Amino acid sequence: MELLFSYLSLAALAGFAVLMVRRTALPAPLAPFAALCATMLWFSAAGMLGVLVPAGWAYFALAAAAWVLSVRPAGAKQPAAALGAPGFAAFFVLAALLLAFFAWRQPMFSTWDEFSFWGTAARIVKTSGGLYVNADIGWAWVGTHRPALVVLGWFFQFFGGYAEWRVLAGYDILLIAIFAALTAGCKKGAPRQWVPALGFGFLLPFVVTLYGSVTRPTDLYASALSDIPLGLTFGGALAVYYINEKKALWPSVLALAALCLEKDTGFALALVAAELIAADGLLGLLAEKAPLRRWARPAAGWAGLFIACGLSFLSWQKYLAVASTADTSNVGGTEQMGMAEMVITGVKELLGIGRTEKFSTIMGGLVRALFASKTTMAGPFAVVIALAFAMAAGAAILTKDKTLRRQAGLFAVLGTAGFAAYFFFIGLTYVYVFRDEVSDGLVGFERYMYPYLLGWLLAAAALVLRAMGFERIRGLLQTGFAALTLALAALVWLRLPFSLTVFGGGNAAYAQRWATRDEARQVQAAVPEDAHIFFVSQGDDGSRWFLYSYELYPWYLDYSGTEGQGGGGTFAVPGALEEDTLYYHPYTAEELLACIRERGCDYVFIERSDDLFAAGYAALFSDGLAGCENQSAVYAWNEAEGQFDFVCNVGAKG
């Protein structure tokens, strides 16, 4: 039944996509991506206005009306035959197959960030019918947590119950729409063009985002993280512009506005894309020596790109200022400065004004990492940068079309400059925002670079595919692009065994999740829904706390530590461990009891105990912690006895 309900969402999306094709001059393969971007904006705005569920009903009603308008020939700008474009049909076939496969395979969340935000937020939105900002979850959401992708997952489960696979399918359907958009640059009836185009898109995330030795099942295409959709939406906004020969800007406006609501760094990527599009249009008018009277309309369109980015970005900031207690005036971190202040300070240091040793060390390390780190299947990031530049430069050199040559050449130059600016911006976060243990090791560096490189390569591919429309180089580019796609396929096949993907992996990949879900259900059965549960998991680095917060929601799992310290963690009496041990909470028995009671917790869920915990706190429990010696246990506060009584064991014995 969940699959059928998901198909209803896909059918509604199809109604808007078909309407766009029939009533505008938009090439059919671009319509699903434009419709998805509009969908994310619609539900993001509705969530901020507090009318998410009513907006959902309105969306499906409007989709039904869109279907009616689509089949009426009056006023149609394109015939129904336009819907036969291979990329348009391929999108809906692949989306339907993906939904069916995920409904059977039932992929699940598996990473820290999915439980600390992306997955948990999706569950909150489905459960509560509103955004996650003020959810009673135990930690404060911050401004970097934007709603577009979360509400996209909610759209695909508007009808029916909550299921993780439906969230994951929503993300992947967005990716399929972007890959299908590439085919708009291919001639109809030319499978030698559009088949490699789809293959290139599908392989791109594998090649760019998987690095080093793959030793565990990858969550690619079964992940709720934002990095891949973020990068491909960035590239999709550019691809739509380059491929759409009519040069209507509204699809790119929708994509850039949605991009700004996918993640905070989406704003920086959107500005780069808007700059590339505006610069191309400006250079085109200058090349034509167009009179000034012809500048007004294009200039309004270029301004619209930047206005859309600004309004989208600021709308979320204003919403948080009203709806949340989170501080949106600064980027947080070690320096607690605003974004503008961070950039200005960084530029000064780059120019040598007040440069610190930390700035020089981190920036130097990041530059070296571009050339030395094995961060992609193809090698260091420098190799990917060279490939993107070569693809764009090749399209510029080989084509006879002056417009395409200008676009490809400008993209090669300004795309490189945009990467340098984006790279510098990310570097500033390591200097001014992240903790020293993150900055010193450049932790997560590759993850921040992936979005730009994904989008850059996708847009470069769009230029190459468009160049195939010219007779002189069609055969050469078709053969070369097909060979490149086959080379990427071989690389993925050699580096990533099929058995380590969601498409070929076994159930063992989700065994731990099934176990924790079973434990959570047993805890929920033993504890009233309105109760606060105090969580203990010895040796936890916070990941178990986030995991069980997700599994137990809407039951409230309390933040197990003092203000400013990590969730979960290791509890022991003072002096039992080094004072600077990460996640170590040195409480006496009296302090731990006071912490639990002051937070209003009548229940304690001991997921993992050890000798340190037993030695320090056994007296707080009426059974001396005997109930959790071999497995997890739930305890309830006994006011009369002043101790916690054993309630039940959870999980498998032993």
Please spell the DSSP secondary structure of 475-495, one letter per residue: HHHHHHHHHHHHHHHHHHHHH
473-477, 483-487, 556-560 — most confident range: 483-487
Nearest to 570 by CA among 558, 559, 586: 586
Strand 632-638: give its sheet, edge to edge. 556-558, 532-537, 601-608, 632-638, 643-650
pLDDT of residue 439: 77
Percentage of the chain surpassing pLDDT 70? 92
pLDDT at 217 over 70: no
pLDDT at 330 over 60: no
Calculate the CA 56 to chain-centre distance: 22
pLDDT of residue 377: 85
Nearest to 456 by CA among 276, 190, 145, 235: 235
Nearest to 183 by CA among 480, 462, 472, 478: 462
Percentage of the chain surpassing pLDDT 90? 53
Helix ranges (DSSP H) in 496-584: 511-526, 543-552
Q: Are 570 and 498 in contact (CB under 8 A)?
A: no
Min mean pLDDT across 89-98, 219-228, 635-644 is at 219-228
Q: Once rounded to an integer, what is the mean pLDDT over residues 127-137?
A: 89
Rounded Cα–Cα distance for residues 266 and 251 (Å)? 17
> Which of the four pLDDT bands, split at 50, 70 and 90, describes residue 88?
very high
> Which of the four pLDDT bands, split at 50, 70 and 90, describes residue 564?
very low
84-98, 176-190, 462-476, 497-511 — most confident range: 84-98
Rounded Cα–Cα distance for residues 407 and 410 (Å)? 5
Contacts of 161 (CB under 8 A, 6+ apart): 2
pLDDT at 245 over 80: no
Nearest to 130 by CA among 105, 107, 147, 145: 147
Amino acid (one-letter) located at 398? L
pLDDT in tens, 113-131: 899 899 999 999 999 999 9
pLDDT of residue 271: 94
pLDDT in tens, 347-400: 888 888 888 888 898 999 889 988 887 778 888 889 999 999 999 988 888 888
> What region does 333 belong to: left with phi over 0, alpha with psi -120 to 50, or beta?
left
> Which of the four pLDDT bands, split at 50, 70 and 90, describes residue 18?
very high
Min mean pLDDT across 57-61, 165-169, 419-423, 574-578 is at 574-578
pLDDT at 180 over 90: yes
Calculate the CA 558 to chain-centre distance: 27
> Which of the four pLDDT bands, split at 50, 70 and 90, describes residue 53?
very high
Min mean pLDDT across 4-18, 312-326, 435-449 is at 435-449
Helix ranges (DSSP H) in 543-629: 543-552, 589-598, 611-617
pLDDT of residue 654: 40
Angle at Cα 486 formed by Cα 482 and Cα 489, nearest 5°? Answer: 140
Mean pLDDT score of the chain, rounded to an integer? Answer: 87
The pTM assigned to this predicted structure is 0.93
Q: Once rounded to an integer, what is the mean pLDDT over residues 62-83?
A: 86
Amino acid (one-letter) located at 417? A
> Which of the four pLDDT bands, split at 50, 70 and 90, describes residue 246?
low
pLDDT in tens, 386-422: 999 999 988 888 888 888 888 999 999 999 999 999 9
